[in-house]
Structure 1
Amino acid sequence: MDDLQFYPTPAHLGAKICSMFECPPSRVLEPSAGNGDLIKAMRRRFRDVQCDMYEIDPARHDTLRDQGTILGYDFLESTDLSMYSHIIMNPPFRNGVQHVLHAWRRMFSGEIVAVLNASGVQRPTTADEQKLCQIISDHGRVEYVQEAFLSPDTLRKTTVEVALVYLRKTKTEEFWNGSILEGLSEDETSFEDYRGAAVSNGIALNGGQVKALVRAFNIAWEATKQSHIAEERSVMYSHFFYAEFRRIVNKAVEPAWLAPKKAESLQERLAESYAKLKEAAWMSVLNTSDFRAYLTRKVIQEVLANFESIKKLDFTASNIYGFLQGFALKKADLNLQMVCDLFDSIAWRNSENCLFYRWKSNERHQVGMALRRRRFILSGFSTEGWRSDLGWEAERRLEEIDRVFALVDGKQEPENGLLWLFRNHFKELVGKKRMTSRYFDVRYHSGIGTIHFFPLDQKLLDRVNLLVGKHRRWMPEDYDMTDREKDLDVAYKGAEAFSDTVSGKLNRWTLRTSLDSDRTDSERNSALDDLDAAFDAAVQATGQDGNFFTGIRKLESHKENEPSDSQRSLALVS
């Protein structure tokens, strides 16, 4: 706490600070939010004002989210504050002057109130303190308060005398007369595909690509801001000439082009444009090839569901790297979810793709599933007679199958995958020719829109089944398939006939609902009950226990009782 010099603003001081503002706010920024005490004071005085915040201590972010929008950690890294009408702050005393100067430079027009250590304002010694005192003299006022942090409602007390600094920045003559292109540099951003070498954390953008995105964003925002400023100038001058026109012709009707397009202030229009541009910029991060390579459509949908909080962050290199680092830390979870998503999409389409088993016979809702090793079938790949390829949606499905199998295989992406096969050999596939990609032989039935997939490496499919089975507690956590290929072959064959019986007792709704996490708990539990009933009926009909691992353990027991090769050799010798 001492390192961050955190002194919460007591309620009485917050109320006094807010009372110093002369105009009602449209959008407020708090550069060092702490516990949100100043934001609460602003809301008490101005009701539903929109508030944004920075807070350098990440431990406070969870409690701050209810108070407003968190833009980032370090306020001094912000590049533009033109969308704010008011800035209110109680910054750390050690660099409070720098906070106020930064706010003054980056703010377009509006009011600032800051709580500072009084000594730096009363007896300025540094260049920054002297600069601030000159700004106060030209554009504001200061009020000194003793014992501001000694009242009963103060959480952390100090005897330091504080200065309440008020500044008001207005549109100057330079604003009305400036050039729209002044200060803009030519856009030299290159949008090449910066792939670079693979990085260790798995989800990252090349540094050059991040810098290119941030540079493009800053240039786009500066141009957008200047367009709003130009429009403001245009309205002012146009109204001046039209006022002269009305005096001459004595008409009060204004032409439509002079009518205000929006009732919002300039800051509100800037804020709206800035938010839209930031949303598009963050979406561009999600849309890069390096990033999307690690996400299935379902994961992307979940990211987009949380996009409201992402798109409000400052679009800076440090925030982008922090965002990507967060995904890197979740890489194992994302990878597992990708495998589960693919598993569900295959099982969901057709119960004939599944093997059904239990490893604990007495637990409710513990019917496990595995994908069949020899073949699985997927539908939804039909084409119109005039088409010479699959549609976009169908191609993405093939791409995700290869992506997950490459992941399980320890590869970044497959060579000669399914998408490559269908794009380069579509005519042969339509002719029902069985063809080979990196991980599958496939046969395409274009008339009914199904593809039959024959895995070339059954160990990869076993790995998929193992990952999903352990994650969903369908199989023992300590189960390891290493050196058990022959045992697995026998167990799979034994499970197929039993699973055919289970499939015959299931309807499509039951299987799909049991795998659909978007269903209500009641719907899923009902479907799982039906799945349990179908499994129990198959056990009764076949006389088998339906335990996939029983067969493996029997094989292991049988092996233990068999004489070894050396024992056989000794017997022959004797």
Structure 2
Amino acid sequence: MFDKNFYPTPKEIAFKMIEGLDLRGVNILEPSAGKGDILEVIESKTANIYCIEKNQELQSILREKKYTILGDDFLKFKPDHIFDVILMNPPFDNGVKHLLKAWEISEEGTQIRCLLNRESIENPCTKEKKLLLNIIQNNNGEIEYLGNCFKNGERKTNVEIVLIKLQNKTKRKKFQFNFNEFQKEEINIEELNINQLAKIDILQNLEDRYISVKKLIEEYLVLKNKLEFYLDGIMDKYTVDTLLAKSFNNKNREREYEEIIGNIRNRFWQVIFSKTKLEEKMTSNVKKDFFGNKKEYSIMPFTVENVNKLLEILIQNSKHIFQNCIEEIFDYLTAYYPENRVHIEGWKTNERWMVGRKFILPNMINWLDLKYVKSNIIKSLDYTKADKLRDLEKVLCNLIGKDIMRIKTIEQTIKEGIEFSKWYKSEFFRFKVFKKGTIHFEFLDEKIWNQFNNRACEGKKWLGY
């Protein structure tokens, strides 16, 4: 079942782990989340839930349950979020390392609840185990002995288990400083009298503040300049200024940090998505399906490892993606055959089992353009149908290895202005537009026409191809 370390948390133990925790509006992380057994007992709470899981099959289960996955290797995890609660049932043979990692990424106030093999606590024979015991002792951590609580679990074991409860009290919050380290006396302006010399201590306090503010403004502008430098090509200066301006209105610095970093991280991921140019080769629906996961990727920390994993997925799926694109367009073009009663119209030129070299598509022109056209010239397609034609041209470009940015598309040809009932040429077709909004097409190259049909029918496993 999945792997040797997969021991789903029994529901009663999961409830015990969250006892006494206020989970409203907090960020919760579960490393080694398995199939989400701990998360399921808190999903009714209004919490922001994140998880990490190494096993690909288990990741699929987590995605089906709509959990946000931040990565697959917790020990290499570099967080962009600030977690209020970390709930853990790590691999029994590596649990101490996982708990130390949770401590490392925690902030002041972070609550950690972790299940461990009892032997990890009672036999501190390694530096890591000794360090963990020291952390527990110095932070008033609790150790609760649960016995062999997995003996009746989904996957049984008689290993003795302990529940470690820790709250980080040693770190200073990221966005606070110790006010006791600085002197800021109250300034009573009423004590100043225009008819007497100002009190030296009041004026000196004001001057000290002014000097401090000048220094901080200088540091702020230098940092802002650095920020703009590193974000050059990722985010424009106006957007940077907007993000920083919003921060002045947000009193929750932790959430403000996450919002700003989230925006910036999305831009970095967007660079990767755009540089792959895979979107240029996808049809609208296939792109929607595949990049429905874009949000999932963009919430993951931007690391070399995560980027490489994404690129591996794109490479491994490129043939499958392209086949889906071909079949989507094939189905669209063969929908308008005469016997298809789903549609009002069907044309003899349109085939059912293959795309004819000549075919007709209806309702291609924006009806307002047709209604108000004052001449015999048309310059625009219906925008949804323009997408479909561009999808067709993307598929054909990919089929023969052409760059769609370097061809003359149907849409570009029409934008230049065309007359009704007159033949025009784009890269792959000759076509003419009629006043009722239909367009008649003919493939210019018989070889490309055959390639397209053969590839689509092979994918559908139709005989004869």
When the two structures are superposed, what TM-score results if normalisation uses the length of structure 1? 0.55
Equivalent position to 1:373, from 340, 350, 357: 357
Per-residue CA distance 1:284-307 (angstroms, 9 max, x = gap): 655556121221122223345566
Q: Provide the rounded CA distance (Å) in 2 between the counterparts of 1:289 and 1:303.
A: 14
Equivalent position to 2:54, from 39, 56, 59: 56
Contact 2:32 2:54 in 1 (8 A): yes
Contact 2:103 2:168 in 1 (8 A): no
Per-residue CA distance 1:242-288 (angstroms, 9 max, x = gap): xxxxxxxxxxxxxxxxxxxxxxx666666666667666666665555
Q: Provide the rounded CA distance (Å) in 1 between the counterparts of 2:165 and 2:244.
A: 28
Contact 2:380 2:411 in 1 (8 A): no
Q: Provide the rounded CA distance (Å) in 2 between the counterparts of 1:275 and 1:173.
A: 19
Partner of 1:336: 323
Distance 1:17-1:224 versus aligned 2 partners, 3 A rule: farther
Partner of 2:393: 402
Partner of 2:349: 354
Residue correspondence of structure 1 range 536-547 to structure 2 within 5 A: none
Contact 1:30 1:87 in 2 (8 A): yes
Partner of 2:450: 462
Correspondence 1:34 to 2:34: yes
Distance 1:450-1:388 versus aligned 2 partners, 3 A rule: closer
Partner AA of 1:79 in structure 2: K
Contact 2:115 2:161 in 1 (8 A): no
Q: CA deviation at 1:454?
A: 3.6
- Give the total of aligned pairs: 403
Distance 1:372-1:3 versus aligned 2 partners, 3 A rule: closer
Contact 1:90 1:115 in 2 (8 A): yes
Q: Secondary structure at the match of 1:9?
A: coil
Distance 1:379-1:153 versus aligned 2 partners, 3 A rule: closer
Contact 1:117 1:161 in 2 (8 A): yes
Q: CA deviation at 1:111?
A: 1.0
Partner AA of 2:70 in structure 1: L
Contact 1:25 1:85 in 2 (8 A): no
Q: Provide the rounded CA distance (Å) in 1 between the counterparts of 2:152 and 2:422.
A: 84
Residue correspondence of structure 1 range 379-528 to structure 2 within 5 A: 380-381=364-365, 390=380, 393=383, 396-408=387-399, 410-413=400-403, 417-419=407-409, 422=412, 426=416, 436-440=425-429, 442=430, 444-445=432-433, 452-469=440-457, 477=463, 479-480=464-465
Which deviates the most, 153-162 or 379-388?
379-388
Contact 1:52 1:69 in 2 (8 A): yes
Q: Provide the rounded CA distance (Å) in 2 between the counterparts of 1:227 and 1:420.
A: 44
Any gaps of 5 or more consecutive residues in structure 1? 193-212, 236-264, 357-367, 481-574
Contact 2:350 2:356 in 1 (8 A): yes
Tell me which structure has the larger Cα radius of gyration. 1
Partner of 2:176: 176
Q: CA deviation at 1:141?
A: 1.2
Partner of 1:104: 103
Any gaps of 5 or more consecutive residues in structure 2? 179-215, 337-344
Distance 1:58-1:405 versus aligned 2 partners, 3 A rule: closer
| Higher helix proportion (structure 1 or 2) | 1
Contact 1:118 1:144 in 2 (8 A): no
Contact 2:282 2:395 in 1 (8 A): no
Residue correspondence of structure 1 range 207-246 to structure 2 within 5 A: none
| Cα RMSD, aligned residues only | 4.9
Q: CA deviation at 1:53?
A: 1.7
Contact 1:20 1:113 in 2 (8 A): no
Q: CA deviation at 1:31?
A: 0.7
Partner of 2:278: 291
Q: CA deviation at 1:86?
A: 0.8
Partner of 1:19: 19
Partner AA of 1:51 in structure 2: I
Partner of 1:525: none
Contact 2:379 2:415 in 1 (8 A): no
Distance 1:80-1:307 versus aligned 2 partners, 3 A rule: closer
Partner of 2:164: 164
Q: Provide the rounded CA distance (Å) in 1 between the counterparts of 2:228 and 2:130.
A: 37
Q: CA deviation at 1:174?
A: 7.1
Contact 1:20 1:166 in 2 (8 A): no
Q: Secondary structure at the match of 2:50?
A: strand
Distance 1:32-1:446 versus aligned 2 partners, 3 A rule: same
Q: Secondary structure at the match of 2:281?
A: coil
Contact 2:420 2:435 in 1 (8 A): no
Q: Provide the rounded CA distance (Å) in 2 between the counterparts of 1:271 and 1:116.
A: 30
When the two structures are superposed, what TM-score results if normalisation uses the length of structure 2? 0.65
Distance 1:120-1:183 versus aligned 2 partners, 3 A rule: farther
Q: Percent identity?
A: 19
Q: CA deviation at 1:470?
A: 5.7
Q: CA deviation at 1:132?
A: 3.8
Contact 2:380 2:414 in 1 (8 A): no
